[in-house]
Amino acid sequence: MTAETHVELKNVANEFIDYFGDFINIENVILNLETPWELGYSRELVKNDFWWPVIEGVGGDNWAFRKDHKKFLKYAYDIRLRRLAYKILPLNFGTSNIFVDWRRGWPSTTYDYGIFSDVYTILEQLYFIQLNRKLGCDDLLDLYFGGLDERLVFFLDDFDQINDEEIPTPTKEFFQAIKYVKYQNNTIKMMLIKLEELIYLSLKNTFGNCQPYHKLEKNVIKTLVHSSAIKNKRNEIKVEDIITAYNTYFKLLQTDVTQYKLRKNVFNNTNYNSLKARFVYFSLKIGISHG
């Protein structure tokens, strides 16, 4: 970071504190913005371009995945949190789905399946970096059936404090509620936007252009913010939800995500030779996202 960018970052940080300091205390984050690796960031993380998760059938670039990784798609049907999200949230895949999205709450909701699915994008990215090798079918089974996705949205910054047995079975009510969460007021909304911009400036100054990662991170944070509101039985986003979301995210960046292994009781709960499961598998194999 050059002296010029150091001054720029400090000025923007001071502006944020001046405007929002009475609402939110993020001094630890501000202090680490000049050394973002202290928060869990790395060049490998912010410069790797994982555009879509494998679970959408359009991911799986050869540079990040072994040849056998598509065998994993046979089991995609029973990734239970993802399946509910795909069935309930607006898909936002384009005009061909506009009537589907309308029935699912669009345009009254700005939270859609594309935003949610980036939880899996960041998990794949972290898994790839931490293993330091291409991901295969077994890796993806652990990643998707290990329950880390459910830990994050249901327990947030306590995700590493609970046992597999404590993870609840996802329900449609969670996604019916999460898509209608709103900001408490425009100040809260602008606070999150400015905090995202501040962190992006830190990452850009440190690692260079990282616009794709910035978009990914914003989507993951949005899911965590919304999840925090739901966990606290609210349909409004408050300051504490933003704090919880970033605490969760920074903890995730510093967590060994490979420790979470396939849960056999969840994995064995589905007939993967059923017509529906086989149809989803076939669709994903040819690059058509399906739930």
In this predicted structure, the answer to whether residue 264 has a pLDDT above a threshold of 70 is yes
pLDDT, tens only, 152-161: 999 999 999 9
With vertex at residue 148, the alpha carbon angle to CA 146 and CA 153, rounded to the nearest 5 degrees, is 140
Sign of CA pseudo-dihedral 208, 211, 216, 219? positive
The stretch 240-250 carries a mean pLDDT of 95
pLDDT at 4: 63
In this predicted structure, the answer to whether residue 59 has a pLDDT above a threshold of 60 is no
Between the CA of residue 40 and those of 2, 76, 194, 226, 244, what are the distances in Å?
A: 21, 29, 20, 22, 16
pLDDT, tens only, 37-49: 999 999 999 987 7
- Which DSSP helix (H) or strand (E) runs through 237? strand 236-237
For residue 166, which amino acid is it?
Answer: E
pLDDT at 1: 55
The stretch 192-221 carries a mean pLDDT of 92
pLDDT, tens only, 93-149: 555 577 777 778 777 788 999 999 999 999 999 999 999 999 999 999 999 999 999
For residue 61, which amino acid is it?
Answer: D
pLDDT at 61: 54
Q: Which residue has the higher pLDDT, 216 or 25?
A: 216
As a whole number of angstroms, the distance between CA 141 and CA 267 comes to 9
- Name 274's Cβ contacts closer than 8 Å, sequence gap at least 6: 77
As a whole number of angstroms, the distance between CA 48 and CA 119 comes to 15
As a whole number of angstroms, the distance between CA 254 and CA 273 comes to 38
pTM to 2 decimal places: 0.91
Q: Which residue has the higher pLDDT, 33 or 217?
A: 217
Q: Which residue has the higher pLDDT, 56 or 82?
A: 82
pLDDT at 110: 83
pLDDT at 282: 84
Query: What is the bridge-based pairing of β-strands 236-237 and 182-183?
Result: parallel
- Which DSSP helix (H) or strand (E) runs through 255? none
